[in-house]
Structure 1
Amino acid sequence: MTPEVVMDLFSEALYLTVLMVLVIVGPSLIVGLIVSMFQAATQINEQTLSFLPRLIMTIATIGMAGPWIITKFMDLFTRLYTNIPTLIG
């Protein structure tokens, strides 16, 4: 196994990790920004007001994008598992 192969595998895994995190966290960040703008406009300083919409959005995003994320994850590991003989030898 050459260093180039290791770097390719690592970059592919890192890209998939960043993509998964972005898909899950991105919508909750947008909701958090909208709630923060609402709190600033109405001068409501309640900490729990921003937590619940972000939590609901994160759970909804995982529910909607979960099958896609699992498919991408399984594809990566299936490809790695089937390529073990070529990667080692």
Structure 2
Amino acid sequence: MTTDMVVALSRQAIELALFLALPMLGVSLVVGVFVSVLQAATQIQEMTLTFVPKILSMFIALLLAFPWMMDKMLNFTRELFMNIPTYLR
């Protein structure tokens, strides 16, 4: 296994991890901005008011995106296992 192959495999793994985290991070960002605007408008500065909606929305986003995420992870793992003979050369 050459260093180029290691770098390429590492790059693919990092890209996949970022790609899989994107739906939850995007939902958390949108909900966080909405709650911040709501807090600024009502002048309520409670920390749990931002934390609970973000956690709930991220959980819902995870439930909705889970089949897609599993498909991506299974494809990556399948490709990794199928290419083991190439990596051992």
Match status 1:17 vs 2:17: yes
Aligned twin of 1:39: 39
Aligned twin of 1:67: 67
Q: CA deviation at 1:39?
A: 0.1
The 2-side partners of 1:79 and 1:13 are apart by: 12
Q: CA deviation at 1:3?
A: 1.1
Aligned twin of 1:54: 54
Q: Which TM-score applies when normalising by structure 2?
A: 0.93
Q: CA deviation at 1:85?
A: 0.6
Query: Identical aligned pairs, as a percentage?
Result: 38
Q: CA deviation at 1:56?
A: 1.2
Aligned partner of residue 75 in structure 2, secondary structure: helix
* Matched length: 89
The 1-side partners of 2:48 and 2:24 are apart by: 20
After TM superposition, the runs of 4+ consecutive aligned structure 1 residues lying more than 3 A away are none
The 2-side partners of 1:50 and 1:5 are apart by: 43
Mark the runs of 5 or more structure 1 residues left unpaired by the alignment.
Answer: none
Q: Which TM-score applies when normalising by structure 1?
A: 0.93
RMSD: 0.9
1:13-68: CA deviation from partner (whole Å, max 9, x where unpaired): 00001111222221111101110111011101111111121111101100000111
